[in-house]
Amino acid sequence: MKFTDGYWQLLPGVTELRPRQVDDVVAGEDTLTVYASTAPIVRRGDTLNRPLVTVTLHSPMDGVVGVTIEHFQGGLDRGPRFELHRSVGDVKITTPQLTGEPVATLRSGSLEARVATEGDWSVEFVADGRVLTSSMARSVGVLTDAAGRHYVREQLTLGVGEHVYGLGERFGSLVKNGQTVDIWNADGGTASDQAYKNVPFYLSDAGYGVFVDQPERVSFEIGTEVVSRAQFSVEGQSLTYFVIAGPTPKDVLRRYTALTGRPARVPDWSYGLWLSTSFTTSYDEATVTHFVDGMAERDLPLSVFHFDCFWMRRFHWSDFIWDPGTFPDPEGMLRRLKDRGLRICVWINPYIAQRSVLFAEGMDLGYLVKNPDGSVWQWNLWQAGMGLVDFTNPDAVAWYQGKLRVLLDQGVDCFKTDFGERIPTDVVWHDGSDPQRMHNYYTHLYNRCVFDLLEAERGPGEAVLFARSATAGGQQFPVHWGGDCESTFVSMAESLRGGLSLALSGFGFWSHDIGGFEGAPDAAVFKRWLPFGLLSSHSRLHGSDSYRVPWAFDDEAVDVTRRFTRLKMSLMPYLSQAGRVAHEEGLPVMRPMVLEFPDDRGAATVDTQYMLGESLLVAPVFSAAGDVDVYVPDGTWTSLLSGEQVTGPRWVRERHGFDSVPLYVRPGTVLPVGAHHDRPDRDHADGVTLLLVELPDGHRSTLRVPSGAGEAVFDVRREGGTVRVRATGAPGAWAVQVHGRERHDVPAGTAHVEVPA
C-alpha cells in the first residue's frame, strides 16, 4: 500500500509517526528492545504527549534476526500465526552501556543487527562484515489513513543491481523490482496480478531474504514507493519480519524452509504421468476405461488416473459420494483400475453445497463457518448455497477426515485439494481467529487436514496432494499446481514464471496443466507443452471442457508423449534424489537459473527456462515453429537428447522439432540414468547407468541413488585419464558411460571399476 505522494509528501489524510531518536535500549536474555521517540527529546517536558515506537529484536534460529515494530501493545492476538520451527542457538547482545559505543547489537550465527543509538534511526543487517540491507531514517512508519485505519510500515534498502524474487506464485516477471504485490489469496487464474499462492517472503540476490511473519494481507512495494527500497506494510499496530542470511540464495532457502517447514517426501509413483477426466467433459467408467486402454495400446506409461469434479452429482459438491447414475460400482471400478497398476486421485474442496447431505450435518454439528449472528455463512459462488468447513474446529477436522477416509477405503490414493482462496472476512471462526488473518491461512489448515489424513492412513512418504492454494508453510504439503491457465503459448510461459516464483518462495514440487486448462489447445501448443510438463517435477494431462488424451490431437502428439514420458521414467534415479534434496534441504526440484548460478549476472533475469535439479537445463519451446533462445552458463554443456555441445556463457538460438527440446547436462555431472521406462516406482539403482559428462581432472563426487528402502552410493573420482567408480549397496548390475564413448557394463556384486576418461 502506498502512503506517499512522491518522496516528500504524504497522501491526503495520511499521518505518520516515525522513530526519530532512540530513548533507551533494554537487553533481555535473548531479545533487544529499543524505545524510540517520534520527535527529539530536548527537555523533560518533551516526553509528555509524545508517542513511542517500540522495536524488539529477537532470533528464532541461527542466521535469522526478527524485528517486531509496535505502536500500541494492548490489542488482542487472536491468531492464527504461522507455525515456525524455532531452534535458537547462540544469541549475543551488546548495548552502549557495555561497550561505550553508540550502537546496540543482536547477533545470531553469522547475522548481526546493529541499531544506532545516536543520530537518525538506523538498523543495519550485517553478515560477514557486509551490510546486506538497512532500515533507515524514513523507513519505519506508524501511519493512519484518511479513514482512520492504522498501519505499520517498514522499508529496507535495495542496492545497485540487486534483484528481488519470490512473494509466492506470481505470473508476471520473475524479478519483482518495480512491482506492487498484495499477499492476498484469490481465485484469479494465471493471467493477472492475483495469485492462488501468496507468500510474504522475498529472496534477494544480494545474499539475504525477508519473511514477514503476518498471515493477513501484506502489501509489498518493491521499488515502487521508494525506488531504492523494498517496502512492506500491514494494517494494525504491529509488524514482525525476519531477515534471513545467505550468503547464497540456496542458503537463504535452506534457512527459510527450516523456519517455516520443509516439503514432505513424496512417493515415487507420483512422478509418473497423471491423466484426468478433465473438468466439465462427459465421462463414466466406459470413458475412463477407454482412456486407460488407449494409453496402454499406444505404449504410453500412465501412473495416476484422476477423477475431476463430476465424479460427484451436480449441485452436491462436496458430499464425497460417487454419482450412482454414472458410477454405479465405484469400488469395483477402482479395483479394476488399480489391478492395472494405477493410482487413483479424486477432486475435492472444502466448500459444502446446500444440497449436499453434509451441509445439514455440518450445520447441526456446528462445523461450518458462521456469521456474527450465529447463522451459517453462505453464498452462491461456485456451488448453490454453499457453506465452508471450519478447520479451526478440531472436531470439524476429524469429521471432514472421516468422510475422506471412506474414499481411501474404497481405493482412492490421493486428493486434488482444489480451491481454498475465496475465504470471507466478515465471519466468526470456531477458535476466535481474526477473519483477516484467516483469509490466507485457511488453505494451510485445509491442506494440512487432508495431508495429515493421508500420512496417517498411507504412511510418511506415501502422502501426496494436488493442491492449488497455499501460503507460507504450505510447502510442507506437496504437490502444488499452477491453477487455471489458458491454452496458449503466452499462458504456458506465464505458468512457468509462476512456478519459478513459487520455487523461490520455498516450494519444492510444482506442476501445471499440460496443454493449458481453459479452452482447447491446438496441436502445436499441446505438443510444445508436453516436454515442459514431463520435465517438471510432476506431470498432469488436464483440461476444462476438452479431453487431454494425446490422440485427440494427432499421431505426433502420441509419439511426443511417449518419448518424454519414457525419458522422465529413465530419469527417476536423478529426480527421486532431487526430491529427497527438496525434503531434506528445502531446495526445489525445478530451480530458476539464479538459484544455481547466483554469481552469473546473465542468469539473474532469465525466466523462460530452468534447472531440473542441479544438473539439467530445460528450455521449453514457446512457438509452433520451434525457435527458442537458451541462456547457457559458463562451461561446455551437452544435449542429453542429441549429444551436441555448446559452450557458455552466452545466449544460443536453436530450432527444435516437436519431438525435441533444449535439454542440456551441466559440465562436471554424473547423471544416473535408469534402466526402466515403464513406471516411476521401480528400484532406481538396479541397472542404473552413470553418465559421466565433462568431468574435469581432479573431479570428486558422491552420488546417492535411491534403492528400495535404502540407497546405492557411488563414489566417482577422475585422476588424469582414468575415472574410478566405487559402489556401495548397488542391488544388481550397473554401468558407466563417458559421454560420447562406449558403455561399460558392470556385473552384479562388482564394487569398483575403472574406465578411460
Catalytic site residues? 418, 421, 484
Pairing of strands 752-756, 743-746: unpaired
- d(C-alpha 125, C-alpha 104), whole Å: 12
- d(C-alpha 596, C-alpha 598), whole Å: 6
Strand partners, 56: 33, 68
CA angle 424, 309, 338 (to 5 degrees): 130
Strand partners, 231: 155, 221
End-to-end CA distance of the chain: 59
Strand partners, 576: none
- d(C-alpha 318, C-alpha 315), whole Å: 8
- d(C-alpha 743, C-alpha 487), whole Å: 42
- d(C-alpha 755, C-alpha 280), whole Å: 56
Cell of 38: 517520534
**Residue 643 CB neighbour total at 10 angstroms:** 10
Displacement of CA 106 from its chain's centroid (Å): 31
Q: Residue written as cell 492462488?
A: 196
**DSSP assignment of 300-358:** ----EEEE-GGGBPTT--S---B-TTT-S-HHHHHHHHHTTT-EEEEEE-SEE-TTSHH
8 Å CB contact between 215 and 256: no
Cis peptide before 80, with omega less than 30 degrees from 0?
Answer: yes
Handedness of CA 320, 325, 331, 336 (dihedral sign): negative
CA angle 15, 13, 148 (to 5 degrees): 75
**Residue 406 CB neighbour total at 10 angstroms:** 11
Task: Report which DSSP code applies to 605.
Answer: T
Maximum distance among all alpha carbons in the chain? 89
Task: Report which DSSP code applies to 271.
Answer: G
